[in-house]
Structures are given as C-alpha cells and as structure tokens.
C-alpha cells in the first residue's frame, strides 16, 4: 500500500521533458491516484508573462496519455490548487522545490496545512527545463539563420 491515497501536482508541462516525467513518476510512486493540474495558456500568460510553445489542449492530452497520471484538470490560477484539493479529497501536494519559500507558495502552504494536506517537495532534474529548451532552440535558430 502506498503512503497516500490521492496526490496532486501542477505545472505548465510545456515542451515535455525528462524532468516532467521524473516528477510525475515520483509522485505516482507515493499515491494511489495522481491528479495533475495543467496550467492554462491564460494562466501562464498572467503569471509568467509568456505564452507556452505548446497550446493547453495539446499539453493536457500529452499529460493525460501518461501511465502515471489518473486525472488531468485545467489549472486556471495558483488558488485553483485549493479547489482541486477540496473537490477531490487530496491528501498530498507534490511540488518542485524551486517554489519552496516563495511568497505565493507560502500563502498556499498555510492553506494546505489548514486542510491537513501534506506537502512533498521534489528536487528538479538537474540541467533540464522548458525554458532552457526554448533558449537552446532560439540559439540554434539564430546560428542557422545567420550562417
């Protein structure tokens, strides 16, 4: 039997890479049911001031197709995590450790604790991120165009 019954993690999941897979695989290893909130394009634009390369519906379908994921829900705001927790009786929130200690997450963390939801932080996979992938693609494109 796994430690938790229902787990939740959220993310943009743009340019899906091994770091994304590691988080989902590690989360699923600790819970029976894994719910994933995929950030909508509008939400990403609002808080990151950039539009994902891959549209929301495509990112959602990619995440839904993974064996570790039981349910995908659109994430429309940071606060929508709380709605997901309340609506699905979540008992653990999985998150990357890059958010730990941030003002936004500190506020949410207090709400998780008030709801008796544990928080498990995972280390990010070193050297890989969607932002780095975009930067590499842009650099390669500049090299090809200027050659």
Element (DSSP H or E) covering residue 10: strand 4-11
Report the chain's terminal Cα–Cα distance, integer Å.
58
| Strand, helix or coil for residue 40 | coil
Residue carrying the six token digits 């959602």: 60
Domain total for the chain?
1
pLDDT tens track for 39-78: 999 999 998 898 999 999 999 999 999 999 999 999 999 8
- Give the residue numbers spanning the domain of 40: 4-146
The pTM of this model reads: 0.86
Q: Residue 80's domain is classified under what CATH number?
A: 3.40.50.620
């Amino acid at each position: 039997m796994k430690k938790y019954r229902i787990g939740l993690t959220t993310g943009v999941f743009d340019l899906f890479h091994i770091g994304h897979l590691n988080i989902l695989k590690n989360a699923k290893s600790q819970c029976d049911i894994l719910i994933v909130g995929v950030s909508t394009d509008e939400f990403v634009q609002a808080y990151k001031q950039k539009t994902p390369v891959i549209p929301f519906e495509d990112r959602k379908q990619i995440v839904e197709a993974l064996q570790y994921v039981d349910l995908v829900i659109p994430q429309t705001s940071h606060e929508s995590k709380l709605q997901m927790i309340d609506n699905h009786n979540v008992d653990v929130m999985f998150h990357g450790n890059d958010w730990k200690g941030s003002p936004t997450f500190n506020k949410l963390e207090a709400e998780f604790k008030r709801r008796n939801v544990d928080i498990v932080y995972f280390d990010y996979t070193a050297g890989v991120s969607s932002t780095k992938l975009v930067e590499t693609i842009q650099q390669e494109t500049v090299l090809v165009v200027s050659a």
